Amino acid sequence: MPVPPRPLPTLALFQPDIPQNAGAILRLAACFGLTVEIIEPCGFLWDERRMRRAGMDYIDQVGLIRHRSYDAFRAARAERGERVVLLTTGGEDRLDRFVFSENDILMVGRESAGVPAEVAAAADRRLVIPMAAGARSLNVAMAATLAVGEALRQLDAYPDGR
């Protein structure tokens, strides 16, 4: 499927390692008309059958860009001039107080390890989702959903359907 035109935010998955969560994020993107950028290598075999099973019948509705490496992603992003907003438990800015821009790339890390320190340091902003005391983190699909919802609300960019 062709990549939809901006001004919607983009989702970036840094070396995803759980296909079901990647599939849930693909479904999220399809439902809201977002592009997903996959930063490889993945922790699982990314093939049509597995991703179709994880993403159900929504996978054909997603604008998908695959990058062979983080360096390839960085080069593409620099060329487009977009801001990378990383969702991380080590974030300095709270999601609920952050102001999103139309061309933001919302990045989530691996379930097992997040992102390396150099990837976190290279992000333009690092957001934390405030949670109840004692809670460590949400899974990446849930975190992405919260961030997408807040970004779409702020940008008045929810689809016109229903």
Query: Cβ-count burial of 61 within 10 angstroms (0-12 exposed, 13-18 middle, 19+ buried)?
Result: middle
Q: What's the pLDDT at 14?
A: 97
What is the C-alpha separation between 114 and 86, in angstroms, rounded? 10
| Superfamily (CATH) of domain 10-154 | SPOUT methyltransferase, trefoil knot domain (3.40.1280.10)
CA distance 63 to 41: 19
CA 24 from centroid of its chain's CA atoms:
11
Instruction: In whole angstroms, give the CA distance from residue 85 to residue 41.
Output: 20
Share of the chain above pLDDT 90, in %: 63
Please, which residues bridge with residue 66 across strands? 38
Q: Say how many residues make up the chain.
A: 162
Largest CA distance in the chain: 43
The model's confidence at residue 50, banded by pLDDT at 50, 70 and 90, is: low
Report how far Cα 118 is from the mean position of its chain's Cα atoms.
18
Contacts of 122 (CB under 8 A, 6+ apart): 74, 84
Region 139-157: mean pLDDT is 95
pTM score of the predicted model: 0.89
The count of C-alpha atoms lying within 13 angstroms of the C-alpha of 11, restricted to the half-sphere facing its C-beta, is 36
| Mean pLDDT for the chain overall | 88
